């Protein structure tokens, strides 16, 4: 019998403040329905000054490690953090997270990047490591803070979140199928040069590249022995905004010549939107925020296959699938997720702009201390000598 490799546990974190897109529509003097209906978004999370990708990643991952038996912690021998909003060109976010989690010394720590696809690259790597040694566990964290220029078309599609996934040969939530479909093309649809804190994007082109890449990766998935489109109970797409997933799913159903009624389309993708509509784009974490929404919000998914389409601009796409395990309902953290989202502090337009664009980021070595604001378990306390100093709260 071949070993099942899949997801054993998960953690979720997001910025402690929240901005309602109706306030952006008001500032722009446009109808808020452009956001609620046109792109399918209501709100996005905003980080406080003492939150960043390190504190969010550690907050999500610590939920998993705190639930593990101390004897099991030694089985985590790899910690991968996927992000495109990292804090250093050299040192990996994973090394900071490793210290904050107080994991043992014998851990392979590194960072991966390919826009919003990075988390899926981390999961594919984890499966290879566990296939070689079934006793090991791999902690994969997908985390990002999405930033576009103020007053650009991308501004309503910002957001942030971290999703931590514990991958092992003793999964409780999902078991991965073997087939994987891949597609890469050199596109300039979205990018962020080293000198910029905000991304550049060709919005309309990015939608076209996204859809084309999903179709190409789907065909590759089918050629590699993947399941049939009709077999899936749900489809989980990368969600820069939820309407993007709806557009891609309608296009994919036409591509495979499946006539889906509108209610059928809705049933297959809407449960993955529930958290993303109020978190915003969390780049590499976004598809996995969709997965958490699906698992926590659906009726019984036991033994049902789920398809994933993981897109990252630039552009990479991977289509893969997994089967929900019968034990999954006993391993959900629905109340915790809803509490995390519900306790976010609403901010007005001026506060959102200040928090999003005027955050502490000295580029000349100036020392600053940062007041405690986050309700999370870790915080950015100081930046001095070009170093970021984190502490447990
Ligand atoms: P825009 O120009 O502000 O909006 O850009 P629009 O004029 O195209 O309108 C958007 C939709 O709202 C349209 O619907 C309008 O009709 C509708 P569609 O034609 O697309 O079906 N609309 C209304 N609906 C109801 N009531 C109204 C109303 N007004 C208009 N009153 C865009 C939108 C998404 C392009 C912009 O926000 C943007 O550039 N976002 C960033 C780029 C992005 O998210 N691209 C997605 C694909 S690339 C990707 O997913 C990767 C990414 O996550 C990064 C990574 O991989 O790292 C971005």
Per-residue pLDDT tens digits of the chain, which is 393 residues long: 468 999 999 999 999 999 999 999 999 999 999 999 999 999 999 999 999 999 999 999 999 999 999 999 999 999 999 999 999 999 999 999 999 999 999 999 999 999 999 999 999 999 999 999 999 999 999 999 999 999 999 999 999 999 999 999 999 999 999 999 999 999 999 999 999 999 999 999 999 999 999 999 999 999 999 999 999 999 999 999 999 999 999 999 999 977 778 788 888 999 999 999 999 999 999 999 999 999 999 889 999 999 999 999 999 999 999 999 999 999 999 999 999 999 999 999 999 999 999 999 998 889 999 999 999 999 999 999 999 999 999
Residues 234, 232, 321, 316, CA torsion sign: negative
Angstrom distances, CA of residue 22 to CA of 33, 36, 46, 347: 9, 9, 15, 12
DSSP helix/strand/coil, 27:
helix
d(CA 100, CA 96): 6
Instruction: Name the pairing type of β-strands 378-384 and 387-392.
Output: antiparallel
Q: Indicate the DSSP class of residue 232.
A: -
Quickly list H helices, the chain: 21-28, 33, 53-67, 93-101, 118-132, 203-223, 242-255, 262-269, 276-279, 286-297, 334-342, 349-357
The response to whether residue 118 sits with its C-beta less than 6 Å from ligand 1 reads no
Dist CA 346 CA 224 (whole Å)? 47
Task: Identify the residue whose C-alpha is closest to ligand 1 atom 46.
Answer: 207
pTM score, whole prediction:
0.97
* pLDDT tens per residue, range 41-60: 999 999 999 999 999 999 99
| Short-list 90, 96, 140, 133, CA closest to 119 | 140
Q: Are 313 and 116 in contact (CB under 8 A)?
A: yes
Question: Which are the contacts of 365, defined by CB distance < 8 A and separation ≥ 6?
Answer: 384, 385, 386
For a ligand 1 pocket test, name from 152, 190, 196, 210 the mutation site with the most ligand atoms within 8 angstroms of its C-beta.
190
Residue positions annotated with a catalytic role: 84, 116, 238
Characterise 217 by phi-psi region: left (phi > 0), alpha (psi -120 to 50), beta (else).
Answer: alpha
Which residue's C-alpha comes closest to atom 4 of ligand 1?
A: 153
Residue 361 CB partners (closer than 8 Å, separation 6+): 197, 383
Expressed in angstroms and rounded, the spacing between residue 14 Cα and the centre of ligand 1 is 23
pLDDT at 2: 64
- Give the DSSP letter string of 348-377: -HHHHHHHHHS----SS---EE------SS
Q: For the chain, how long is the longest CA-to-CA vector?
A: 61
- From residue 204, give the alpha-carbon distance in Å to each of 28, 196, 208, 347, 370: 20, 21, 7, 29, 38
Closest CA to 50 of 80, 74, 17: 17
Cα–Cα distance, 139 to 109 (Å, whole number)? 10
Q: Which two tokens stand for residue 79?
A: 């910690």
Q: Whose CA is nearest to atom 8 of ligand 1?
A: 204
């Amino acid at each position: 019998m071949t070993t099942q490799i899949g997801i054993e546990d998960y953690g979720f974190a997001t910025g402690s403040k929240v901005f309602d897109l109706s306030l952006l529509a008001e500032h722009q003097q446009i109808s808020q329905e452009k956001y609620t209906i046109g792109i399918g978004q209501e709100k996005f999370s905003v980080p406080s000054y003492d939150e960043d990708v390190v504190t969010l990643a550690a907050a999500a991952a610590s939920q998993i490690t705190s639930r593990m038996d101390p004897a099991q912690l030694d089985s985590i021998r790899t910690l991968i953090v996927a992000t495109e909003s990292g804090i250093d060109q050299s040192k990996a976010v994973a090394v900071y997270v490793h210290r904050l989690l107080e994991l043992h010394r014998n851990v392979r720590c590194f960072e991966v990047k390919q826009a919003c696809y990075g988390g899926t690259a981390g999961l594919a790597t984890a499966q290879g490591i566990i296939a070689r040694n079934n006793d090991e566990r791999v902690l994969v964290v997908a985390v990002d803070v999405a930033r576009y220029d103020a007053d650009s078309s991308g501004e309503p599609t910002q957001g942030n979140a971290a999703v931590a996934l514990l991958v092992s040969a003793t999964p409780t939530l999902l078991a991965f199928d073997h087939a994987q479909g891949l597609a890469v093309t050199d596109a300039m649809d979205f990018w962020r040069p080293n000198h910029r804190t905000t991304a550049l994007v060709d919005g309309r082109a990015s939608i076209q590249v996204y859809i084309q890449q999903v179709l190409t990766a789907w065909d590759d998935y089918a050629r590699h022995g993947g399941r049939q489109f009709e077999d899936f109970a749900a489809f989980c797409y990368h969600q820069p905004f939820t309407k993007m997933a709806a557009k891609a799913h309608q296009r994919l159903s036409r591509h495979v010549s499946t006539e889906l009624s509108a209610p059928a389309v809705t049933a297959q993708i809407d449960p993955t939107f529930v958290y993303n509509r109020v978190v915003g784009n969390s780049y590499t974490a976004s598809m996995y925020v969709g997965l958490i929404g699906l698992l926590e919000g659906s009726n019984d998914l036991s033994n049902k296959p789920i398809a994933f389409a993981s897109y990252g601009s630039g552009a990479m796409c991977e289509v893969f699938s997994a089967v929900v395990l019968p034990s999954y309902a006993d391993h959900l953290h629905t109340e915790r997720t809803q509490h995390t989202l519900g306790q976010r502090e609403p901010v007005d337009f001026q506060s959102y702009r200040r928090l999003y664009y005027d955050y502490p980021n000295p580029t000349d070595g100036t020392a600053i201390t940062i007041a405690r604001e986050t309700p999370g378990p870790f915080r950015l306390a100081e930046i001095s000598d070009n170093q970021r100093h984190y502490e447990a709260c």
